[in-house]
Amino acid sequence: MLERRVNLDGRAATAEVPRITVGGLRMAALDLEATADFMIEATDRSHRIGRPLYLTSANGEVLARCSTEPQTERLFRAADLINADGQPLVAASKLQSWFPLPERVATTDLFHVVARKAEAAGRTFYMFGASEAENEAAVKRVQNLYPKLRIVGHSHGYLRGEALRAKVEEINALAPDFLWVALGVPNEQAFVEEYTPLLTNVGVIKTSGGLFNFLSGSRARAPQWMQRLGLEWAWRTWLEPRRLFWRYLTTNPRAIYLLFSRNRALNR
């Protein structure tokens, strides 16, 4: 696999994580708790690799885009670890592999598990992305939920050029254990690729998609029964039909094809 060859330090740091290829991408076969434990451990000074460990997430849309957009595929394959943020990926793995994905690891759920563990372990957060209002509201809610969590800084994601570079240098000086980057696919993955060399004091970067919108309360999660059935995309389309109808109409059929044609049993 391509990511094995180009990402040797990341491969060494994640060597003990079991993986399964689903829809063409190698996914971490870890549940929510194990993923959060791995992230906490990765921020320990004794486990640092001289750059941030880069974690991202994939769902059906991502699989479809990676199969048709070479640049997006390259950005995802550069990740040290990819979580399965989509119930259809879990279901497909259970049908086709003797070692399936244990559960969906949605970033909106993972954030809270990591936050609780970070409170106990004394780890620090930086929250980067979304609009200024959304970012402020998300940070305020997180502080209310986790009063002992140390959030060393936060910023909206609408920065460009020198302003963005200065913000990256500021983040590095603050040296957060976790940098949550919520810029959307593939902008957040491109951010990681470009600015990782300037973020040597950061422990883990986790791309986060629309996480801050859910944290702020401006966007509601789908009902649990829809999440369990892999229908969260339908819920989101109902909420934002103009933005998402065509996207899912074009990516869902391709994702289904990939889920049943590009899978592979346990590998590392």
Segment 205-235, tens digit of pLDDT: 999 999 999 999 877 666 676 667 666 766 5
Distance CA 86, CA 104 (A): 6
**pLDDT greater than 90 at residue 249:** no
What is the per-residue pLDDT across 143-174, written as a single tens digit (0 to 9) for each? 999 999 999 999 999 999 999 999 999 999 99
Q: What b-and-e string marks burial along 189-213, b requiring 16 or more CB atoms within 10 Å of the CB?
A: bebbeebbeebeebbbbbbbbbbbb
Contact (CB, 8 A) for 82 and 105: no
211: left (phi over 0), alpha (psi -120 to 50) or beta: alpha
What is the per-residue pLDDT across 63-115, written as a single tens digit (0 to 9) for each? 999 999 999 999 999 999 999 998 899 999 988 888 899 999 999 999 999 99
DSSP for residue 27 = E
Annotated domain spans of the chain: 1-229+257-262
Average pLDDT of the chain is 88
- In the chain the first and final C-alpha atoms are separated, in Å, by 10
Q: Which of 49-63, 114-128, 166-180, 207-221 has the lowest mean pLDDT?
A: 207-221
Tokens of 200: 């040597």
Compute the average pLDDT of residues 253-261.
Answer: 77
Q: What is the pLDDT, as a whole number, of residue 250?
A: 64
Q: What is the pLDDT, as a whole number, of residue 233?
A: 60
